[in-house]
Amino acid sequence: SLTEIYRKISSRWSPYIETVYGVLSENGHSLAINEFIQKPACLSYPTKELSEMRSLTLEDFILKMRTLSEKEALIFLLQLCEALENISELSLVHGDVSPQNILLTDVLPLNSQKQQPTSSTGKSITELCRNVAVKLIDFDIAREEKGSHHMVTTVAGTNPYAAPEILDYQTPTDRVDIYSLGCVFAFMLTGKSPKQMSREEFQSSLSKSVRKIFPLFCPLPQCLFRNFFTYCQVFGVENHWKYVFFP
C-alpha cells in the first residue's frame, strides 16, 4: 500500500530524496508528512514568475532558464543515482522519474564551509553545482518490486520519460527508473527527452564522451552506479563528487 511505501521511505534519509518525516493514519485515510523543499536562494531568476515560485523543478530550470553543461548534468546525475540506489535498497520502484519530480534546492550548509574543490584538470567545479543540489520527490505511484508473475493493470508515469515496460503493462523493476534517468539526463543537456528527438538530432547534440554513457542505462542499478563513478574520470571530477555532494 502507499502508506507502507511512505513508511519505508521515512526510514531512510538521503540528501537527494524528499524527506518523509512520518505517516499519519486514521479511519482508513493516510497522510504523509514531507519536508518543504525551497528553491535555491543563490540563483538569480530572470522572470517574475520564477521569482514568485516557492519551489523550482528541474523542468522549469531547463525550459525557462538554461540547459546544463555536460559536467553539471553529470554531477546532478550522480546525485540522482544516489537517490535511486537508496530507493532500490528498499525494494521499491519510483516509477515516475521525470524533470517534474526533481526539485532544485540549496546544498546543505556544511558544504559551504569547505574549501572549493577542483577537478583533476585544475578547474573549479561549476558555480551551479557548488551551490545547488537536486532532490527526487513524489512517491505517489511508487510500488514494491514484484515477481515476473505479477500482473500490471494500471499504466502510470510521465510518457516522455516512462520505460517501455511501464507503457506495455509489463512488470516494473528498478530498471524502469534507470531508463527514465537516462531520459532525464538527456533532458538536462538538450531540453528534450530522447523520445522527442530523432536519433540524428540526439547524437549531434552530445559530445562523444557523453554518448558513451547512455548504454549504461540498460544494466542493473549496481552496475550503473559503479560505471558512472568510473565515467566521472572523463569529466575530471573522479575524486571530488562526494566532496561536493555530502556534508
- Whether the per-residue pLDDT at 25 is higher than 80: the answer is yes
Residue 3's pLDDT band (cuts 50, 70, 90): confident
78-103 in b/e form (b: 16+ CB < 10 A) is: bbbbbbbbbbbeeebbbbbbbbebbb
What does the alpha-carbon distance between residue 70 and residue 231 come to, in Å, rounded to a whole number?
Answer: 12
pLDDT in tens, 229-244: 555 544 444 443 343 3
Sign (positive or negative) of CA dihedral 155, 157, 158, 160 = negative
pLDDT in tens, 148-186: 443 333 444 467 888 776 655 555 666 788 888 888 999
Active site residues: 96
What does the alpha-carbon distance between residue 234 and residue 2 come to, in Å, rounded to a whole number?
Answer: 40
Helix axis angle, 175-190 to 70-89, nearest 10°: 160
With contact defined as beta carbons under 8 Å apart, do 156 and 111 qualify? no
C-alpha cell at 109: 550548509
